[in-house]
């Protein structure tokens, strides 16, 4: 039985924050920071206490600029160079079924799905399956009978573990001490890089037996 795996894009594989930070500095000058700001289009996002954070008005201006840039989603860098290619190689070796999940809003140019597919192809994943979604990732994980979801947002991981039988690997790019304390209690497994997440999956072994990979994966990550 093949491992059924979903992987997030922005913050997990693609460095959206760096691109937004660059655009913010171009618009508003050096010293502005996205850190502490919910960098989404959510009007109800709370104000941040960080040094010179963007205001909600500035954040709207930033996204307006970004979404007018043709094929913006194809311009992002990998957070960890080579991680997409390594994921593709492991998927081919172990016969994993992989889908990429994203909530990217549309911008000028190709659809967010097409841009995401091209980005993944350019970084080494030959035939990527991409689903541009809204709502709960847990419901998607349940509907697709996924085994594992890799994501960088605690709220998405919480949806996964509460609304599906999938395991949630939280790619936490801050210091270990700042991992949400409830994560382990809720069954969310923190890792501190995409490389570590792939190491964990690879340690589960191959899929030479009907339940070999999934069984060893579940045992390795405590499911």
- Distance in angstroms (rounded) separating the CA atoms of residues 216 and 221: 9
Predicted TM-score (pTM) above 0.95: no
Residue 35 binned pLDDT confidence (cut-offs 50, 70, 90): confident
Question: 4-15+76-220 in CATH: which number?
Answer: 3.40.50.1000
C-beta separation of 39 from 20 below 8 A: yes
Give the mean model confidence (pLDDT) for residues 163-184.
95
Give the mean model confidence (pLDDT) for residues 198-212.
67
- Distance in angstroms (rounded) separating the CA atoms of residues 10 and 16: 6
- Give me the percent of the chain exceeding a pLDDT of 90: 79
Residue located via tokens 């959510």:
42
* In the chain, domain spans: 4-15+76-220, 16-73
- pLDDT at site 209: 42
Residue 89 scores a pLDDT above 80: yes
C-beta separation of 154 from 131 below 8 A: no
Alpha helix stretches (DSSP H) within 68-193: 83-94, 112-122, 137-143, 154-163, 182-186
- pLDDT at site 34: 84
Count of CB atoms situated within 10 Å of the CB of 199 = 12
Give the mean model confidence (pLDDT) for residues 60-75.
97
- pLDDT at site 157: 97
Count of CB atoms situated within 10 Å of the CB of 141 = 27
Q: What's the mean per-residue pLDDT of the chain? A: 88
């Amino acid at each position: 039985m093949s491992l059924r795996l979903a992987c997030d894009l922005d913050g997990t594989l693609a460095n959206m924050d760096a691109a937004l930070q660059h655009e913010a500095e171009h618009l508003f000058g050096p010293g502005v920071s996205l850190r502490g700001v919910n960098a989404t289009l959510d009007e109800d996002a709370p104000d941040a206490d960080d040094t010179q954070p963007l205001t909600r008005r500035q954040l709207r201006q930033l996204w307006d600029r970004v979404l007018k840039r043709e094929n913006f989603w194809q311009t992002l860098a990998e957070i960890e160079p080579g991680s997409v290619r390594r994921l593709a190689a492991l998927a081919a070796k172990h016969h994993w079924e992989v889908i990429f999940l994203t909530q990217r809003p549309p911008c000028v140019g190709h659809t967010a799905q097409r841009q995401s597919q091209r980005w993944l192809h350019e970084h080494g994943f030959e035939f990527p399956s991409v689903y541009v979604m809204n709502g709960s990732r847990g419901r998607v994980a349940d509907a697709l009978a996924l085994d594992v979801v890799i994501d960088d947002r605690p709220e998405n991981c919480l949806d996964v573990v509460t609304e599906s039988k999938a395991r949630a690997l939280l790619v936490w790019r801050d210091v270990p001490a700042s991992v949400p304390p409830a994560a382990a209690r809720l069954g969310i497994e923190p890792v501190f890089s995409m490389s570590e997440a792939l190491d964990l999956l690879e340690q589960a072994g191959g899929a030479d037996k009907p339940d070999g990979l999934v069984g060893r994966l579940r045992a390795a990550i405590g499911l």
